[in-house]
């Protein structure tokens, strides 16, 4: 137990009770976001200011740490990784997913417009806040990367699912792409799996892991997610360390480009049924023709979400000055 406590304190992460609670609540919000198709937990990490720390924590599981783990040197492994940060974030995300999955599903099915309205307000307000935090916001190069990020985000959320192979190499690639999307703000991993034509394939294996062949599929997919998580997080961290302004501008642009996905009012153009559930392939954003109770609630929640982000940003500046 003493060695475990020593490893816990040796790792970077929250220190005070306030730090733990604050980080845990942000992780809880990340978990809620991961429950919503089209919204990424990375978005919440980005707008709550823990994105670079999250990348650093994931990147801490490096070659040296894995070597310790493979040799059975558990406590050296725990001391090497950002244990306090990872444990706090993981507990918040997992609790949100397991405790609120049914509620979020119910809200999206029965009250989608107000639910999307709340997220639209939160993300919309985050864009100017993040823009103001850029090291060099007025530079031409900054606007170039914002434009590239916006186009990238818009194109990704506009893609249409396609038929793809079920070979091992492609399942592995889906794992890499899926987890990579979850790291990027504004991009949903489950949404990209749907685009790659493997959403039903993977979820079917998850629901029946002991059916012949499914366990192999899950192992290959898990290897892909591990590769993507450890590899891509290091790339992003390197970009933030060496090209922070351009990287942050690109990520800010992604948020702007993916606003299309969280716009509350939509018209379905094409859909399919997957496992007795309707999955939307193409949809168009529209303005409401009339304002009923749900439309008004969506606007109110969007305003509250917008104001909440601006309030938290002003509070953080006040504390920094003090």
Buried b (16+ CB within 10 A) or exposed e, 127-149: bebbbeebeebeeeebeebbebb
Tokens linked to 278? 């309707």
Residue 146: pLDDT over 90: yes
Instruction: Please report how the helices 168-183 and 199-207 are oriented relative to each other, as an axis angle in degrees rounded to 10.
Output: 100
Q: What is the per-residue DSSP string for 282-311?
A: EEEE---SS--HHHHHHHHHHHHHHHHHHH
Residue 232 has pLDDT above 70, yes or no: yes
Residue 24's contacts (CB-CB under 8 Å, 6 or more residues apart) are: 88, 89, 91, 92
Q: Do 129 and 70 form a contact (C-beta atoms < 8 A)? A: no
Express each pLDDT in 15-63 by its tens digit.
899 999 999 999 998 888 777 766 778 878 887 889 888 888 888 888 8
Asked if residue 8 lies in contact with residue 83, where contact means CB atoms within 8 angstroms, the answer is yes
The pLDDT tens digits for 121-131 are 888 888 888 88
The β-bridge partners of 278 are: 273
- The model's pLDDT over 78-131, given as tens digits with 9 standing for 90+, comes to 888 888 999 999 999 888 877 887 787 788 778 989 988 988 988 888 888 888
Residue 274 backbone phi and psi in degrees, to 5: -120, 120
């Amino acid at each position: 137990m003493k060695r475990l406590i020593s490893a816990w304190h040796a790792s970077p992460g929250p220190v005070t009770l306030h730090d733990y609670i604050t980080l845990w609540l942000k992780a809880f919000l990340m978990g809620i976001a991961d429950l919503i198709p089209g919204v990424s937990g990375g978005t919440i990490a980005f707008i709550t200011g823990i994105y670079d720390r999250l990348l650093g924590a994931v990147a801490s599981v490096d070659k040296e740490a894995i070597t310790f783990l493979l040799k059975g040197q558990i406590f050296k492994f725990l001391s090497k990784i950002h244990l306090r940060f990872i444990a706090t974030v993981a507990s918040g995300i997992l609790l949100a997913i397991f405790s609120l999955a049914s509620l979020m599903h119910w809200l999206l099915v029965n009250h989608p417009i107000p639910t999307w309205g709340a997220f639209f307000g939160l993300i919309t307000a985050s864009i100017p806040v993040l823009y103001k935090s850029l090291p060099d916001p007025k530079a031409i190069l900054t606007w170039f990367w914002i434009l590239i990020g916006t186009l990238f985000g818009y194109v990704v959320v506009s893609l249409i699912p396609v038929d793809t192979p079920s070979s091992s190499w492609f399942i592995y690639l889906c794992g890499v792409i899926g987890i990579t999307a979850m790291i990027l703000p504004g991009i949903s991993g489950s949404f990209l799996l749907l685009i790659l034509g493997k959403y039903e394939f993977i979820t079917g294996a998850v629901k029946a892991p002991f059916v012949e062949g499914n366990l192999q599929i899950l192992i290959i997919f898990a290897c892909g997610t591990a590769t993507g998580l450890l590899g891509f997080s290091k790339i992003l961290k390197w970009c933030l360390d060496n090209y922070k302004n351009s990287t942050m501008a690109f990520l800010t642009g992604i948020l702007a480009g993916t606003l299309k996905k969280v716009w509350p009012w939509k018209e379905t153009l094409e859909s399919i049924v997957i496992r007795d559930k309707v999955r939307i392939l193409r949809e168009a954003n529209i303005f409401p023709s009339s304002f009923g109770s749900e439309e008004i609630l969506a606007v109110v929640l969007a305003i509250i979400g917008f104001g909440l982000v601006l309030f938290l940003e002003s509070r953080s500046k006040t504390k920094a000055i003090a």
